[in-house]
Structure 1
Amino acid sequence: MTKNNRCFITEWTSGQKQMELLLYLDAHDHPIEIHPYDASSPSLIGNIYVARVDRVMPQIHAAFLKADDLTFFYPMEDTAMENIIFTGKNGKKDALVEGDELLVQVIRDAIKSKEICVSTNLSFSSAHLLLTTGNRLHGISKKISGERRKQIQSGFLDRVADENLGIVVRTNAMECDEDLLYAEYRMLQDSVSDLLSRAKHLVAGSLLSVSGQRHPFFEHIDRFQREGLTEIVTDDPVWYDRLKETDTEGIPVRLYADPAYSLKQLYGIEQMLTQALAQKVYLSSGGYLVIEPTEALTVIDVNSGNNTKKKKKDDYYLSNNMEAAKEIARQVRLRNISGIIVVDFINLKNKEQKDALTTYMKSLLKEDYVKANVVDFTRLDLMEITRAKKYQSLQQALSYCTQ
């Protein structure tokens, strides 16, 4: 079923800062995701550097690396030693030591007190493919199944059979012609070869630009296209031209140009941002959530509010918790909350209902584009959830942009 979702791109000014804003809305114009972008301080995700090992921390199986004034955290279980790409005279090694120089790719920006996180499994992507240097397995998106999956396996993957690179066929290759897949593969393969050739002559701290690097909004738009996006709207003529020159797979792009009533006013974008940062989120039943981010984790408290009907009945509690779970899953994605999330639901003493709530929350989190899992209920009856860290939370990103 088509979801009729839309995304908006507009400029946003807060204080002395001007930024770009990408909003992804459902068919009822409720925000699903909000992504601010400050061009003066862009994300480093995807950048590839020659980095030098500064400290090896065997007790946590990690290392800290340096690239000029940048410090990276590298989890050493990331890639097998034989697949790490060393530069200079390092060659193959059994273990990392201080002074080693190697290629790394940023996989997570600095978040709160956490350092920039890097991987030695370099990835190169196109519209339909992902090539990796460390993980050399060949695979197909789980969302491609049946006869099409067999065709890709027996046709494209068996045809390329590259033992030096991992290959993942992405979801939107479902309708892609095999010749186009092969052309993209050759293009990415050339990008890898070119980068590795240049890296041999570079010193630690060097940034290697990856051909085809795009504005981060396009990564999100690619994903929205697979989720039911039906229109892209912008009030910025520069973005309009950029989008028209890009393959949006038949999704119409519209330039909003009404001088009497701005795009921000028409859709209440300021109110959306205010609500997306609010501590309290109200539920239709009369209950509400209290969302408290801390340095270590995010705590979400579920309250029944002024709705006191049938308050002693377990089915009432379950109904309220189910409503809260749906809103929590939405808020986690909207605010881009990551790390450990602890939810204090209205107390459920019935194990069957507690299991039903857990199953429901797991099903909701499966729709999230970032990997998220329900761990379990703790001994204090708090639901523990984990969500992968990649970008800054919405609160952090907007706070930074307004500084």
Structure 2
Amino acid sequence: MSEEILVNVTPRETRVAVVENGMLQELHIERGWARGVVGNVYKGKVQRVMPGMQAAFVEIGLERAAFLHAADIVRPSAPALTGEEDPNAPPPPTRPISELLRDGQEIIVQVVKDPIGGKGARLTTLTSIPSRYLVLLPHTRVIGVSARIEDEAERARLKGIVGGLTAAGDTHGYIVRTNAEGQPEEALADDVAYLARVWSLIGERSASARVGECIYEDLTLPLRAVRDLIRRDVDKVKVDSRETFERLRTFASQFMSAAGAAGTTELAQKIGHYAGERPIFDLYGVEDEIQRALDKQVPLKSGGYLVIDQTEAMTTVDINTGSFLGQRNLEETVYRTNLEAAQSVARQLRLRNLGGIIIIDFIDMNDAEHKRQVLRTLEKALAKDHAKTTVYDFSPLGLVEMTRKRTTESLQRQLTEACHECNGRGTLKTPETVTYEIFREIVRQVRQFDADRLMVMASPKVVARITEEESTAVAELEEFLGKSIRFQADDQYAQEQFDVVLL
């Protein structure tokens, strides 16, 4: 499999695209005026404790107060984790929020979810700081290994290395990231030292910071791409900015210094500067893919298609056979379409960054084995996703329910806004509907105010319908009211807009 990472830098926007076998799989966007705040650590102040919700609103300097639940608060009296606890044991009960926080209290918090829609950011006091191979957990003693590292011997090796590095008086816990697979002890030791420096700096800044001040900020998007996205199967990182390219090379060298010169050279060689005249996203067809990712309908190679609807509550995906006729019978046609759709759905969720509850309406299948194969194909395709996903079996209605962890806005909500014509409904009232609204408003105005004549201003399409198809109705209305009514078309009016003016 060929995988490349493309970095496009402009003065106010940076975009990172992950391309596998020539197809766009992920897109990350960071704009100078609207950088995400996930991972940032702030000095906050409790605005209001709400016992009924077991939560509190905390001021951290953002536009809206952030939300902190009792379950996300470090409990000073809780025993430290050792990593040997029974995984099947029930979690300790959450103490009442009123025992953990009080109004006006200053507190150090970390953002775990960006503000989305009308909701404020989601917070935790269970701080975690990521590096290339590890995640520091300052408030626990647990050492965990990413579930994506499946080889038991490798899991034991990594856990033993980190346990040995932290044995000498270290009171922190760590999670070993997927990128650590196959890495030598020196690389992990370098990360432990780096995380110790970061945590020490956070402690120093916490003491002197003012409320609402950011005391730790996650890396910029290009640096996060090097830290999180570069794996052994990534062939190339291409950057179209000379300055950003130099910064990434320096950052990669510093991060890999403990892995030896070979590791440093290998990673540095993957990062290249793109100096071509044609925009890098155009060269790889990424711009076209971004435009298609904003469409509701996604074509399949077989002739079928997906219809993706994103709402506030959930995302629904409907699969249709379209023009695909198949070669054998209906069941086989449906099965082949669903198999292709399962792979496409996984890619679209990742590309569009769709999260929360997702309902997939596969075409009805009668064969139980076909259902199992479609579900297995979906789970296998989702295994490449960096976001955590959970897939459930077919429901009695033939639907597949799943969840995908959401930490930032979807691609659609990052790049688009609600239509000003329809206020986000996705539909417009027909000219006929607006015509009868105008007639009702004319009657309403005449009964309230005295006037000899009326003038109606509306969109050309609506006025054309009134003066042509509804001319008889207008004459009857004028006779009924005893008033003269004039209609004037104005290009500035949207289809649903109109004004009734008394003269």
**Range with greater deviation from structure 2 (111-120 or 295-304):** 111-120
- 1:164 match: 171
Q: Does 1:106 align with 2:111?
A: yes
Q: Does 1:6 align with 2:11?
A: no
- 1:184 match: 191
Q: C-alpha distance in 2, partners of 1:42/1:287?
A: 38
Change (3 A) 1:378 1:54: farther
Q: C-alpha distance in 2, partners of 1:233/1:83?
A: 50
Change (3 A) 1:136 1:154: closer
Q: C-alpha distance in 2, partners of 1:221/1:197?
A: 27
**Range with greater deviation from structure 2 (135-144 or 64-73):** 135-144
Contact 1:230/1:252 (8 A) holds in 2: yes
Correspondence list, 1:88-103, <5 A? 94-103=99-108
TM-score with structure 1 length normalisation?
0.86
- 1:71 match: 65
Change (3 A) 1:373 1:174: closer
Q: C-alpha distance in 2, partners of 1:375/1:114?
A: 28
Q: C-alpha distance in 1, partners of 2:115/2:212?
A: 18
Q: C-alpha distance in 2, partners of 1:349/1:78?
A: 45
Q: Radius of gyration: which is bigger?
A: 2
Change (3 A) 1:175 1:323: closer
- 1:348 match: 365
Q: CA RMSD in A?
A: 2.8
Q: Does 1:258 align with 2:276?
A: yes
- 1:193 match: 200
**Range with greater deviation from structure 2 (120-129 or 261-270):** 261-270
Tell me the SS of whatever aligns to 2:345: helix
Q: Post-superposition shift, 1:175?
A: 4.1
Change (3 A) 1:190 1:252: closer
Q: Does 1:173 align with 2:187?
A: no
Q: What amino acid maps onto 2:405 in structure 1?
A: A
Contact 1:51/1:67 (8 A) holds in 2: yes
Q: C-alpha distance in 2, partners of 1:255/1:194?
A: 33
Contact 2:144/2:175 (8 A) holds in 1: yes
- 1:317 match: 334
1:330-352 deviation per Cα after TM superposition (whole angstroms, max 9, x unaligned): 00001110111111111123344
Contact 2:14/2:221 (8 A) holds in 1: no
Which structure has more relative contact order (CA 8 Å, sep 6+)? It is 1
Structure 2 unaligned regions, length at least 5 = 79-97, 254-266, 418-503
Contact 1:83/1:134 (8 A) holds in 2: no
- 1:24 match: 18
Tell me the SS of whatever aligns to 1:277: coil
- 1:62 match: 55
Q: Post-superposition shift, 1:79?
A: 4.1
Q: C-alpha distance in 2, partners of 1:101/1:196?
A: 15
Contact 1:372/1:387 (8 A) holds in 2: yes
Change (3 A) 1:388 1:135: farther
Change (3 A) 1:314 1:8: same
Q: What amino acid maps onto 1:96 in structure 2?
A: L
Number of equivalent positions: 384
Q: C-alpha distance in 1, partners of 2:184/2:328?
A: 58
Q: Does 1:361 align with 2:378?
A: yes
Q: What amino acid maps onto 2:292 in structure 1?
A: Q
Correspondence list, 1:132-281, <5 A? 132-142=137-147, 143=149, 145-161=151-167, 164-209=171-216, 213-226=218-231, 228-247=233-252, 249-259=267-277, 261-281=278-298
Q: C-alpha distance in 2, partners of 1:364/1:122?
A: 31
Q: Does 1:43 align with 2:43?
A: no
Alignment counterpart, residue 52 of structure 1, candidates 22, 45, 51: 45
Q: C-alpha distance in 2, partners of 1:355/1:269?
A: 34
Alignment counterpart, residue 382 of structure 1, candidates 399, 418, 422: 399
Structure whose residues are more often helix by fraction: 2
**Range with greater deviation from structure 2 (45-54 or 128-137):** 128-137
Contact 1:144/1:174 (8 A) holds in 2: no
Contact 2:222/2:248 (8 A) holds in 1: no
Tell me the SS of whatever aligns to 1:200: helix
Q: C-alpha distance in 2, partners of 1:351/1:151?
A: 41
TM-score with structure 2 length normalisation?
0.70
Contact 1:79/1:134 (8 A) holds in 2: no
Contact 2:240/2:275 (8 A) holds in 1: yes
Q: Does 1:332 align with 2:385?
A: no
